[in-house]
Amino acid sequence: MLNVYLSGEIHTDWREQIINGAQGLDVTFNAPVTDHAASDDCGVAILGEEPNKYWHDHKGAMVNAIRTRKGIADADVVVVRFGEKYKQWNAAFDAGYAAALGKSLIVLHGPDHAHALKEVDAAALAVAQEPAQVVDILRYVLTSALPK
Amino acid sequence: MLNVYLSGEIHTDWREQIINGAQGLDVTFNAPVTDHAASDDCGVAILGEEPNKYWHDHKGAMVNAIRTRKGIADADVVVVRFGEKYKQWNAAFDAGYAAALGKSLIVLHGPDHAHALKEVDAAALAVAQEPAQVVDILRYVLTSALPK
Amino acid sequence: MLNVYLSGEIHTDWREQIINGAQGLDVTFNAPVTDHAASDDCGVAILGEEPNKYWHDHKGAMVNAIRTRKGIADADVVVVRFGEKYKQWNAAFDAGYAAALGKSLIVLHGPDHAHALKEVDAAALAVAQEPAQVVDILRYVLTSALPK
Amino acid sequence: MLNVYLSGEIHTDWREQIINGAQGLDVTFNAPVTDHAASDDCGVAILGEEPNKYWHDHKGAMVNAIRTRKGIADADVVVVRFGEKYKQWNAAFDAGYAAALGKSLIVLHGPDHAHALKEVDAAALAVAQEPAQVVDILRYVLTSALPK
Amino acid sequence: MLNVYLSGEIHTDWREQIINGAQGLDVTFNAPVTDHAASDDCGVAILGEEPNKYWHDHKGAMVNAIRTRKGIADADVVVVRFGEKYKQWNAAFDAGYAAALGKSLIVLHGPDHAHALKEVDAAALAVAQEPAQVVDILRYVLTSALPK
Amino acid sequence: MLNVYLSGEIHTDWREQIINGAQGLDVTFNAPVTDHAASDDCGVAILGEEPNKYWHDHKGAMVNAIRTRKGIADADVVVVRFGEKYKQWNAAFDAGYAAALGKSLIVLHGPDHAHALKEVDAAALAVAQEPAQVVDILRYVLTSALPK
Amino acid sequence: MLNVYLSGEIHTDWREQIINGAQGLDVTFNAPVTDHAASDDCGVAILGEEPNKYWHDHKGAMVNAIRTRKGIADADVVVVRFGEKYKQWNAAFDAGYAAALGKSLIVLHGPDHAHALKEVDAAALAVAQEPAQVVDILRYVLTSALPK
Amino acid sequence: MLNVYLSGEIHTDWREQIINGAQGLDVTFNAPVTDHAASDDCGVAILGEEPNKYWHDHKGAMVNAIRTRKGIADADVVVVRFGEKYKQWNAAFDAGYAAALGKSLIVLHGPDHAHALKEVDAAALAVAQEPAQVVDILRYVLTSALPK
């Protein structure tokens, strides 16, 4: 059985593609909260309003870290997806965190980002461009079967 | 004595400002190679040319990791600077790596990046905007003296 | 699934509030022995009387440590509650112990204690005032649902 | 050589008594910032004012943690002093943190606190009442000499 | 649930007393091979004869270590029993091994051995004289119930 | 229950012999992908062709490492088989990796390789020549039964 | 440079033989307090009398553990000597503690104890009978020179 | 400063080439005993003859492990050289051991061995063919200077 954490970009359906593609494999998936508004506001919604935007964000990021740390700590494999837009520093942070814990890291991004991600890719065991390739890796690792 | 690793942006003189400001304090500084061209080409310059840009980059990133890992592993404090430009995913990766190792993390960035860096800031013990503030922290931590 | 250890104050029903509030969530709760008399006397009741009160207490504290260490070691999240009365140094000790192990720490206390607990709060991912907020955090972390 | 961290109460001269008593022994001492005002205000003095007292305290506690973590991580022996007054939860937090890291713990307190500190004492290798006893322990550990 | 490893003396029925006494509690017990002849000869019986008694013993001790290491590594609590006879250095070795791994240690021996075992006892959370006391500890740790 | 990883030679049926021989024992077996062609080509088959044989091999070795690392990390016992042919450096690498993680190591090879494998054997708890001996060890470790 | 901890028997001059024999080698030696009376009484001499012999011994064993833990934790090599007399359970405890920390262990004892020490010897990298052999090992490890 | 361990082949002067080439750099080198006869016979020369060649080899391999473990544990960078001849399984074992400890690994071998070493190379940060390339890496890592 593999425990896989799906970190990074939250604006496309890449997680669903991987989870659907991996049906029938002995994999457990975890991920951060992908509801953008909930993720941003969880801290103040639960622990009380903050007039200062910095502390508003801070409280939310801390609450989200409870889930993120657990997800990465439990994982055998951490997949980090970098999308086309935004800074996505939290994705790169998760990749560094996972690498330092010795997790098997799979990075998922398009060719345009290859140069900017070279240090992240250098810490990975696989660099994929498409979610289907991640599914192929999981299937191969678990069953020895290669894509036809 | 504090061992401090200065990670991140390499296009301004923030490292020099901190190192100069900390003169007289019992601090050892380390940093990645900040010569951009050398850093990009070190892999192929030493280990042989690669026609494919991806592997050119990969070889260099791997060689640079020898220095980066040593610098972070030896550090008591890791300062990560995010500048105005570029993706800077390696900076966020270093921050995650340092956080997972339990290093004291100081993040240095302007207010515009606060929202995008909220997960990185949430792992830090201090979030500064100016190099002089990092110097003030180091002086306080080592000598108990606050800025006047 | 989350494993949650509920440390600290034993004179109010805050543990029951959290456990009841979390019904339906995939959480396992553990806690120290909360029967005050049993907790104080377990050492001598099992291992033999001590005429000296110090060793009476010591034997009990050691036996209780078997349960406490296991509870914290197995936990993903450690909640530490500081009540209105008593020194509660064991609660702060558990918080420090949990922090050093890298557990996600939630501190629960009223606003009057905020200044005295600032070092403990600084190690936490959430600082709550009410047990219901802890339930809200657990629900959010597990299901992404915010309180309405 | 022993590296000793002196944690806890900052209102009496117990640290000076130990450091003076240990002159001639091969010991390095470290301690938190003991200037109460500087310790409370370091965060805002360096990183900017906070109108909310909670975040004022938080910023300071985080900056102080840079020094505290380093001091405990480097120590062979952590001495934690509980005085007559105040909550001193940070002292108990440091004791728990040191215990989880496997540091040799010496607790220093008067007999009135023995019951309330029984869990902390249970994690210690020595429980002393006077600073001079801590000096005697350090001398014995380093030189085999007992007090006359 | 507690995982308990029962190390040490193999000539009396103390393990059976504890296992029987703990019926109904959520405990899993493990132990070394207690068939003395099998334990002494397992190495050569499986891996081939040795004319030299030293290597005969060595091969057996190594094979037994596969079971012992697994038993201690998996344990929450390690109980080490010292009987009336023999050197029992392997029992003390197991106690040291368990202590270094941070396991909760319970030592079981008669009062005659107290002085000779003082360093081992000093690493324990409980020192018992009778198997029934170990059962009482396990019941208390799991259910909060004290013996009547 | 024992988790056993079967590393090394892939050209004979030694794994099947051990797995069949261990039927009825509480053992879980894992192993690398033993389909030689799939193992060599998995990287390029999933992640894209490489004209350079070195990178072709490299991509495959990295993908296989996802499975290998997981298998060794989860194992209580790592069996490493050295066959008659080939360099088998990956087998020796796995043995070193397992030894550094403190896994119980069983090495399986014929007498001709004894001198060349002396450093690997020195890190092992058992050195066997036949798969049936590995089965005997597993049976003894789990049930105390010696071969008749 | 090698840091060597000399644990065990305190009634013969084996430590002096090793230390004298190793003159000129780059070795630092540490050892427990070998003054038997001081070692037994250090706890009560410093921290106050105990009417009960058990607690008298306990306080001393705990204070001695400050030195012992530091000595073993700092060591590259732990030499444990078993003499002709006494139970010497603390020596076997130290051996187990050192083994669990991955220290290189050298056991020193006469042939009569070989069977009783087989589990301890099985964890060692060398089993010697004479102090001069330990010196020979240290010289070889540091300089490659074998005894003539 | 970098601590570098030079593991592997002992029949050519590759270590001298690296050490000479690195003169002037802040590097400390360590290596196994490279006197083949001494390395093979150290166990029996110091600890007594063995009629059985297997135990002769075993005793030597164990004594050599004292030096090897220390060398790898202290290293920042482990260079493993595979020569043209022999099985060299100890070299691959050291590479696996170093990789599991998170050391920066540089593998040094000719192109003929690339396929057989693909799993070892996959764990490395650099794969070099000539000792001079290792010197170039060390110089670059320490000084940022590339070869001209």
**Which of D76, D140, D145 faces G63 most closely, judged by CB atoms?**
D140
Burial class (CB in 10 A: 0-12, 13-18, 19+), G73: middle
C-alpha dist (Å) from residue F62 to A17, A123, B20, D119, F68:
23, 11, 43, 48, 10
Give the β-pairing of F104-108 and F126-128. parallel
**Which of E106, E127, E146 faces C38 most closely, judged by CB atoms?**
E146
Strand segments (E) across chain H:
2-8, 27-30, 77-81, 104-108, 126-128
CB contact set of B138 (below 8 Å; sequence gap of 6+) = B2, B4, B18, B22, B25, B27, B77
What are the pLDDT digits (tens) for D20-61?
Answer: 999 999 999 999 999 999 999 999 999 999 999 999 999 999
**Percent above pLDDT 90 for chain C:** 97
What are the pLDDT digits (tens) for E74-84?
Answer: 999 999 999 98
Give the per-residue pLDDT at A84: 87
Q: Is D8 within 8 Å of D71 (Cβ atoms)?
A: no
**Which of D62, D121, D122 faces C122 most closely, judged by CB atoms?**
D62
Q: Is D122 within 8 Å of E126 (Cβ atoms)?
A: no
Does G135 score more than 90 pLDDT? yes
Between positions 96 and 115 of C, the ones with CB within 8 A of E are none
Residue F71 Cα, gap to closest chain B Cα (Å): 23
Question: Least CA distance to E123: which residue of chain C?
Answer: C62
Band of pLDDT at residue F36, cut at 50, 70 and 90:
very high
Q: Which residues of chain D have pLDDT under 50?
A: none
Band of pLDDT at residue E135, cut at 50, 70 and 90:
very high
Q: Is C60 within 8 Å of C32 (Cβ atoms)?
A: no
Between positions 31 and 60 of E, the ones with CB within 8 A of F are 33-35, 38, 41-43, 45-47, 59
Neighbouring subunits of D (3+ Cβ pairs under 8 A): A, B, C, G
**Cα angle value A115/A120/A125 (rounded, 5°):** 110
Specify the pTM.
Answer: 0.97
Which residue type does C56 have? H
Q: What is the number of alpha carbons within 13 Å of residue C43 lying toward its C-beta?
A: 24
**CB of B125 within 8 Å of any CB in chain A?**
no
Whether there are 3 or more C-beta pairs closer than 8 Å between D and F is no
Structure tokens at H58: 């075993």
Residue D53 Cα, gap to closest chain G Cα (Å): 41
CA D53, CA D35: separation in Å to the nearest integer? 19
**Percent above pLDDT 90 for chain G:** 97
Give the per-residue pLDDT at C86: 84
CA H53, CA H58: separation in Å to the nearest integer? 8
Give the per-residue pLDDT at C64: 98
CB contact set of D139 (below 8 Å; sequence gap of 6+) = D22, D25, D145, D147
Residue A26 Cα, gap to closest chain B Cα (Å): 28
Cα Rg of chain A, angstroms: 16
Predicted interface score ipTM higher than 0.95: yes
The mean pLDDT of A92-114, rounded to a whole number, is 97
Q: What is the number of alpha carbons within 13 Å of residue B3 lying toward its C-beta?
A: 11
What are the pLDDT digits (tens) for G10-52?
Answer: 999 999 999 999 999 999 999 999 999 999 999 999 999 999 9
Give the per-residue pLDDT at E85: 85
CA A99, CA B65: separation in Å to the nearest integer? 12
C-alpha dist (Å) from residue G120 to D93, E61, G9, G96:
38, 9, 15, 7
Residue D22 Cα, gap to closest chain A Cα (Å): 40
Contact yes or no for F62 and A140 at CB 8 A: no
Cα Rg of chain H, angstroms: 16
On average, the pLDDT of chain C sits at 97
C-alpha dist (Å) from residue D64 to D13, D50, D58, E13:
21, 17, 10, 55
Give the per-residue pLDDT at D86: 83
Each of the 148 residues of chain H gets a pLDDT tens digit; together they read: 999 999 999 999 999 999 999 999 999 999 999 999 999 999 999 999 999 999 999 999 999 999 999 999 999 999 999 998 888 999 999 999 999 999 999 999 999 999 999 999 999 999 999 999 999 999 999 999 999 8
Q: What is the number of alpha carbons within 13 Å of residue C45 lying toward its C-beta?
A: 20
Q: How far is CA B8 from the centre of its chain?
A: 4
